[in-house]
Structure 1
């Protein structure tokens, strides 16, 4: 049996022109120029980047186009961008700016057919369904607006529907674990990956190779890290070597 392959992704939350990070999306702290972080992670060997505009839904706009255009002059790996995407035209703008994939959350919850329209326009490989999951009685509920607003949708049902409607990948974030660096919600990861056949990027709480390896065992195709990288708790070379030592296949 060949070793499981795992993609290691850096997640960069952006507010205006700054890289920010909080806990459970609250108390956002400015960390610097997102381009500098993106370039550093690229040079260290990260597999992909995820850029998320944290206030795009609040202000009905995305601020990522300029950041993407700058990043793609220096960084040559797949980039997913999301935040404030409400239409096929919004997705097209991010793709033109340099994104390879576009993540959609709020608008898809309000209009699930948006996933289908985007997949028809650009191919499902470009469409990422972002799910912000919080534990509730009996399972997990999908939230939006940075984990503040209830959707009333069961995460398992929404993941299945999203895949059926055209999403080519799921970015699954545990709001309960987000920013704490104390381990991922492995039950959530296992439950969602059992529901869909499309790749799942697990996020929220990743802090070391152990948490990434557990996510892979539970079915994740990729793991996105934010705080652990931004605050220098670990590095991409260290993570990848530790993952190889655990028998996982990672890109050198």
Structure 2
């Protein structure tokens, strides 16, 4: 049976672990492999790793990096970045990754989602949707690290994704990224009733109270965060962290 999940999200840029604010100004915060080792020790529910360079640079995934991450990782691992073919996806799964995440490729070629799902199973196909609020209400969908606005209708797209064979949707708020002032609950309220598949929310968590509030309001949901799990204190000292068993029991 599914349960709420608390998922660190690691961004890889120039082979290093970084954290952004509103998808800008990546700040180096360490080595991805070291972070994985620490999250292993802290028994993280899952781990999401997104290579934010691959699609923008029009290159294939870094298979050696993925292999190193998968070899080290002792929890379910979701990788995203640069995946554009079934062959690439299959190669990544063969390296030991449990889920693959697509973003721009899911918009440009929805059939790819169906083809990958047939090959590896729906539960292993994740779509990350990066959204930004419109000035006068509603949300726009962006790709390429928030630099390209699409004409996608968010609500229709989310509904369609299920029919394409997607097993999970990650909604990522560009406005809230790295701000650490809480999730966009209005956004989640708009999207969650439209789908029957698992949903994970990313962007805005600044405390475990934010995670707790999200689960309390929406029940079985994935709570993902970056800054919350790599920074500590008001001065944002770099410190990889994750709730211990007692804290998790309080949250869940």
**What's the TM-score once normalised by structure 1's chain length?**
0.90
For residues 223 and 45 of structure 1, the distance between their equivalents in structure 2, rounded to whole angstroms, comes to 15
2:236 alignment counterpart: none
Secondary structure, counterpart of 1:198 in structure 2: coil
Q: Distance in 2 between matches of 1:150 and 1:143?
A: 4
Q: CA offset at residue 10 of structure 1? A: 0.9
1:81 match: 79
Contact 1:173 1:204 in 2 (8 A): yes
Cα distance in 1 between the residues matched to 2:219 and 2:171: 12
- Provide the residue aligned with 2:116 in structure 1: 118
Flag structure 1 segments of 5+ consecutive residues without an equivalent: none
Deviation at 1:140, TM superposition (A): 1.3
Aligned to 2:128, which of 121, 127, 130?
A: 130
For the aligned residues, what is the CA RMSD?
Answer: 1.9
What is the number of equivalent residue pairs in this alignment? 244
Matched, 1:181 2:186: no
Tell me the equivalent position of 1:21: 19
Q: 1:5 offset after TM fit, Å? A: 2.9
Query: For each residue in 1:14-50, what CA deviation from the matched residue of structure 2 results, as whole angstroms up to 9, or x when unmatched?
Result: 0132011111111111122101011101211211111
Q: For the residues of structure 1 that align with 2:89 and 2:161, how far apart are their CA atoms? A: 17
- TM-score (normalised: structure 2): 0.90
- Structure 1 residue 195 corresponds to structure 2 residue 200: no
SS in 2 for 1:27: strand
CA contact (8 A) 2:167 2:197 kept: yes
The unaligned stretches of length 5 or more in structure 2 are 234-239
C-alpha contact 2:33 2:72 (8 A) present in aligned 1: no
